[in-house]
Amino acid sequence: MTELILRGRVQGVFCRHYCSQTAKRFGLHGSATNLWDGSVQVILATDDETLISQYIQALQNNPFGIRFFGKITDIEVHRNYQGRIEGDYEF
């Protein structure tokens, strides 16, 4: 599994929904959760580097025109995530 930490204006702007809908376009499953520091944690049930790269690029460029009122300024990638897929927005 892979964990992404999204930073920028990502809470209260439909970010978790945006992450979910974008993931579904790639056939990805996981979760998105607001964190206490204002960032969003996304857990993806894949280690496929190509899929992860495509997903990250889609989050940055919104090629599907999904409603999102924020701005992602940084995405931190943690490979080999060992936790569970859980959070406030599962997809």
C-alpha torsion 22→68→82→90, nearest 10: -70
- DSSP 8-class letter at 74: E
H or E stretch covering 18: helix 15-25
Q: For the chain, list the domains and their CATH numbers.
A: 2-78 (3.30.70.100)
pTM for this prediction:
0.95
| Spatial distance between the Cα atoms of 11 and 48, rounded to a whole number of angstroms | 27
41 closest CA partner among 73, 80, 88, 82 = 88
User: pLDDT per position in the chain (91 positions), as tens?
Assistant: 999 999 999 999 999 999 999 999 999 999 999 999 999 999 999 999 999 999 999 999 999 999 999 999 999 999 999 999 998 899 9
